[in-house]
Amino acid sequence: MTEQTEPGEAKQASLKPATPKPPAAKTSPARRPTAEAGAAQVAAAKAAPFTKAVPAKKAGSRAAPAAVAEALSRAERAGAAAAAPGGDAKVLQLDPHRMDKAGTELTTDQGIGVEDTDNWLRAGPRGPALLEDFHGREKIMRFDHERIPERVVHARGSGAHGYFQPYDSSLARYTAARFLTDPGARTPVFVRFSTVQGSRGSTDTPRDVRGFAVKFYTDQGNFDLVGNNMPVFFIQDGIKFPDIIHAVKPEPHNEIPQAASAHDTFWDFVTLQPETMHHVIWLMSDRALPRSFRTMQGFGVHTFRLVADDGTRTFVKFHWTPVAGVHSLVWDEAQKISGKDPDFNRRDLWESIEAGVYPEYELGVQLIAESDEFAFDDIDLLDSTKIIPEEVVPVIPVGRLVLDRNPDNFFAETEQVAFCVQNIVPGIDFTDDPLLQARLFSYLDTQLTRLGGPNFAQIPINRPLAPVRNHQQDGFHQDDIPLGQANYHPNSLGGGCPVVPGAGGGAFVHTPEHVDGIKERKRSETFADHYSQATLFWNSMAAWEKQHIIAAYRFELGKVEHLHIRERMVEHLNNIDHQLAVAVAAGIGVPAPAAGRANHGRMSPALSQAAMPGSTGVLGRKVAVLVADGVEAGSVQAVQAGLMDAGAVVELLAPVDGAVTTSSGEALPVTRAMNTVASVLYDAVVVADGEAAVDLLVNDGYAVHFVAEAYKHAKALGVLGTGDRLVQAARLPVFEPSDRVAGPSSKPAAGALDGVVFLAPAGDADTGFLAELITAIAAHRHYDRPVDGIAA
Amino acid sequence: MTTAQQDVIDTLLGQHQQVKMLFAQVESADGDHRQELFTELVGTLALHESIEQLLVHPLAEQELPDGDQVVPPRLAEEEDAKQALSALYELGVSAPEFEGQLAALRDAVSAHAEAEEELEFLRLREVTDPGELTRMAEVVASAQALLAQHLQAAGGQAPSPLAGPPDQVFERVRDLLGKADGSEVQR
């Protein structure tokens, strides 16, 4: 911040027209003068509009300073974690299975050399094909059977290897799980991120829940934490799982729509099953549109248990928090990405790891003493549609997850990895959460069909690092060769082996618990409140998050053909918040409801994305620099170098690929042609300086649209010198008094310059300018801009 | 325990976000919807300003070293906003001048909110006993519940306590809050 004012005095004293300060020497163009004294006061305080981009300010977040401090301490903890052995153990285990084709000769599956793989064996060059061609038949047979059933849900996924390392041994009081308590060891992991609804080949950026599944290859066996990027689920009892998934999936008669919840069956179901309301409002929020797998949280969803060596049990909720912060796309952008690059998130994950920008998450736990099981009078810990607000039970940081290696082969690893909720290690245990209990059955069961039999645990990616010895045998695709005569227990012919280690021998021991109940199909009455936490979520949102939620409900319900379903949803919304219901109704042709139940007014500031700005700045952010022949190379190259030094990915885009000729006649190589990409694939845009170049760009519809669209999507915009003519051509309210053709601007015009950084013509892109630009990009988005009237 | 743990500053900051959101919604709506959203806006502002005037501004005046300089301008801005709302109400949501005046009020309220947040609220957190701020949040919550009861008693029929000329709405809300627990709300 260049102009931090002292509370109470400087603000009051500087009641004069806003004038931007150097280093961005350009006067802010046509900032709309506001008559109101209060507006002028704050406008003056913000006299250097470029400082508006501080992450803490981006969202009007109530928790901003605390959030930044939290993000920095998270980074510090991660930085302080010492390197430890063990992280590559899984990679080493996979090595013998890796098949390197370099320097080899073509054979059949039987190892027989192939004479020719281009021509089927025929009776004469124009004669009939011979059945005898074992190579031809094998090749076609193998091809015909390449596909396996895709996952019923979470079919679309992307995976990565990495490791988990606890910060210290502080959890040892609570759990016997060594991977959570030994800071001297890294536990290898394989993580798979996914969407839920779409098919395996569907887009990465639908409005959807994201899977966040982690397989820990611990020395005590595999632990699978099969979570999502939202902390609650649609349903309370797993018996409703087929119903919710049938409803959200493409409709059965025409298999439409792909990768979308915006259709009648989904909304028909959720409006008839109000326990879905909390998860649905998360789904309508920006959480459903992660910018990157690197910028979304993960949650274990259920309440689990930690079990200490002495048998003490503690309820636990698992949280993954990305060090890069929680950041999202805007909906218009997400839809366009689905066309421009449906692999957007997969590519981002892959390229980040290849570039050494390793995605990193902090594991946090909420711990609740077993004796406090009933301490909360408004939630039941066994109800997966509820959270425990972080303000009530704090999230304690315990370790870090780093993803540092891409898979060698998508199918062998990412597709064949089999996550099972039942995979659990000593020191952790389940609870009676009825959704969790159903998942314990489902995940094991589904692998049988998908992976063709019971031996899927022998597939290399699924094999534990811990030794496997038992009397399970045979079945399709048995890879192991058990030795010996005894395949039963107890035995004497095998020396009694494998020996049952028993309790105290390091075996998993189910939590001893007294269970007493009447056998009946009945939901607990403590699960009955379906609205309070949806209200809590709504109350906790920043204004821009609320507006995105309203827009999302309007979009989704706007695609629902049956009016009675829309009306039913508005009634539910009225139980969440009256103003939300009124605002949504206004967009979908439904009458506004009368005031409903009172909003309880409670909030959990930690739920807002504004509370998680991250600490990695522009690391891994993609910046497009628009150039053309005649460009001033000096400032472009300074910006390019400065951003890359800070860890950003910078691409020079020109009307055509190759190189552009700079104003001084040099060749400046470009990264790619502008029309092969789009602004939606970048986090920020910089417009280059140079009269001749800008002449070309203002007459290039792609370039004009590129700038307008990036601005509309609230992205940082760097304008170098005469590049401001392109901004003018894009009709941005930076220069216009209003973003609308007629009438007042749609939002405070003071926000028009948020995240827009100017450099004077022929100016020097010095460290001051770069700092402003980097701050603007690191803030991710600038949602207070008036953008409603921008055509893009 | 309930899973609620917030102070009155959280509550007010949340209302600022709500007000900002409502301004945007009123602006983009038409006809009856705009009227409904405008009514919501008036009611929300009335509740919000009343809470501030009954609880937080007096606290700030007392606790902040420059309280006597910070608070009076805020009160004046709140009075201006009430007048502007009344003028908008008189105009009617379909008047041609409505949008322009609404935008001016929106900018003023936004600036007012920002000044409050930076000069008053976040600093209050540093100098006030957290328990006091939490207690105030509870008072506000019970007052809101009382208000909701009145709204429901009205059963959606006119006149709702939040409908009508803004100065009257402000007065009714202030009365209701005062009644919520007179001694407590009045500090």
Q: What is the 3-state secondary structure (H, E, C) of A622-672?
A: EEEEECCCCECHHHHHHHHHHHHHCCCEEEEEECCCCEEEECCCCEEECCE
pLDDT on residue A266: 98
Helix (H, G, I), strand (E, B) or coil at A165: strand
pLDDT on residue B30: 86
pLDDT on residue B58: 94
Contact by Cβ (8 Å): A245, A153: yes
Contacts of A40 in chain B (CB under 8 A): 111
Distance from CA of B138 to the nearest CA of A (A): 10
Largest CA distance in chain B: 51
Prediction pTM value: 0.91
Cβ of A33 under 8 Å from any chain B Cβ? no
Contacts of A285 in chain B (CB under 8 A): none
Q: What ipTM goes with this model?
A: 0.87
Please state the φ and ψ torsions of residue A365, each to the nearest 5 degrees.
Answer: -130, 140
Cβ of A40 under 8 Å from any chain B Cβ? yes
pLDDT on residue A22: 33
User: Scanning every residue of chain A, which has its alpha carbon at the shortest distance from the alpha carbon of B101?
Assistant: A744
pLDDT on residue A24: 35
Contact by Cβ (8 Å): A235, A303: no
Contacts of B105 in chain A (CB under 8 A): 36
Cα A349–A350–A353 angle (5° rounding)? 85
Contact by Cβ (8 Å): A555, A331: yes
Contacts of A62 in chain B (CB under 8 A): 9-10, 13-14, 17, 117
Out of B2, B40, B104, closest to residue A36 by CB: B104
Contacts of B147 in chain A (CB under 8 A): 598
Sheet holding A649-654, edge to edge: A672-673, A649-654, A622-626, A684-687, A716-720, A756-759
Out of A7, A62, A747, closest to residue B123 by CB: A7
Cα–Cα distances in Å, from A119 out to A114, A122, A125, A129, A136?
11, 8, 9, 10, 8
Using CA atoms, how far apart are residues A650 and A702, in angstroms rounded to an integer? Answer: 19
- pLDDT tens track for B31-76: 888 999 999 999 999 989 999 999 999 999 999 999 999 999 999 9
What does the buried/exposed string (b/e) look like for A178-211 if buried means 16 or more CB atoms within 10 Å of the residue's CB?
A: bbbbbbebbbbbbbbbbbbbbbeebbbbbbbbbb
Helix (H, G, I), strand (E, B) or coil at A761: coil
Cβ of A747 under 8 Å from any chain B Cβ? yes
- pLDDT tens track for A441-459: 999 999 999 999 999 999 9
Out of B4, B9, B104, closest to residue A35 by CB: B104
Distance from CA of A31 to the nearest CA of B (A): 13
Contacts of B140 in chain A (CB under 8 A): 601
Helix (H, G, I), strand (E, B) or coil at B136: helix
Tell if the CB–CB gap between A583 and B37 is shorter than 8 Å: yes
Tell if the CB–CB gap between A586 and B119 is shorter than 8 Å: no
pLDDT on residue B114: 92
pLDDT on residue A6: 39
Which residues in chain A come in under a pLDDT of 50?
1-62
pLDDT on residue A19: 37
- In a mutagenesis test of the B interface, which of A1, A36, A784 is the best target, namely the one with the most B β-carbons within 10 Å? A36
pLDDT on residue A82: 85
Cβ of A392 under 8 Å from any chain B Cβ? yes
Residue B117 DSSP label: I
Window 674-693 of A: residues touching B by CB (8 A cutoff) are none
Question: What residues of A are labeled active site?
Answer: 154, 228
pLDDT on residue A786: 87
Q: Using CB atoms within 10 Å of the CB of residue A233, give its burial: 0 to 12 exposed, 13 to 18 middle, 19+ buried.
A: buried
pLDDT on residue A743: 66
Tell if the CB–CB gap between B6 and A602 is shorter than 8 Å: yes
Distance from CA of B100 to the nearest CA of A (A): 6
Out of A9, A42, A745, closest to residue B115 by CB: A42
Q: What percent of chain B has pLDDT over 90?
A: 57
Task: Enumerate domains of chain A plus CATH numbers.
Answer: 157-462 (2.40.180.10), 622-778 (3.40.50.880)
pLDDT on residue A503: 85
Tell if the CB–CB gap between B1 and A392 is shorter than 8 Å: yes
A605 prior amide bond cis, ω within 30: no
Task: Enumerate domains of chain B plus CATH numbers.
Answer: 8-185 (1.20.120)
